[in-house]
Structures are given as C-alpha cells and as structure tokens.
Amino acid sequence: MRLSPLKSQTRTRAKNIVDLLRSMGFKASTPREGDLCLESYLECCGQVLRLVFFDGRYTDDLVIKVTPEVGGCEDALYAPKGLYIIGGSDSEVAEKIVQKAKFLSAALRSASA
C-alpha cells in the first residue's frame, strides 16, 4: 500500500490531540513527521506507547494507532500489537486514546507477568 503525503489538517489535529492529552495530565511528546505519518509517544500506566497518526484514505477522518511497536509508518499499520481509533472530534479521540492506552498497558503488564 502506498501512502500519500499528510494533509495539513492532520498535523493540526495531531498537535491539538496531544495538547488535550497533556491537559488531561498525561506526558506526551510533540508529534513529529515520520515517513508519511506523524508520531508521538504517550506515557500511560507505567508504559510508553506510540501514537501514530494517519490521514483517512477515503475520508477526512483521522486514523490513529496506539501501539507498543517502534518502526516506520507502514510498520505501524501492519504491526500485530495495537489498537486503532478512527474519526471523531479531537476531544473524543483524546478520550478514546486514553481508554485504549489503559487497556493496552494492562494487557502488556499481564503478558509480561
């Protein structure tokens, strides 16, 4: 699958979402451009998780993957570990990220125990 360059609204929304996560008390890095995605790191429940932001392919929806995997943008799409969030307002997306990050953190802890 060939990814296209990011839309400017994706950059803006990713920054807004990270700012919302910070206002909720989470540590999150400023989104930076990868090879056709934006990535940020979120500290949640003792785990550091990667947030990968993509443009929706056929819509203007934002697609985010919350994953413990590190690598390129295409690697994040196909990595078996992680959960997706598609669409919604920035505040809804931030809340979904927190829910999925907590679930993923708990799953990672139980898998390592």
Q: What is the pLDDT of residue 2?
A: 45
Q: Which residues of the chain have pLDDT under 70?
A: 1-5, 113
| Domain boundary assignment for the chain | 8-108
Q: What is the pLDDT of residue 100?
A: 96
* pTM greater than 0.85: yes
Name the phi and psi angles at 47, rounded to 5.
-115, 150
Q: What is the pLDDT of residue 113?
A: 62
Contact 97, 41 (CB under 8 A): no
Q: What is the pLDDT of residue 19?
A: 98
Distance separating alpha carbons of residues 103 and 55, to the nearest angstrom: 24
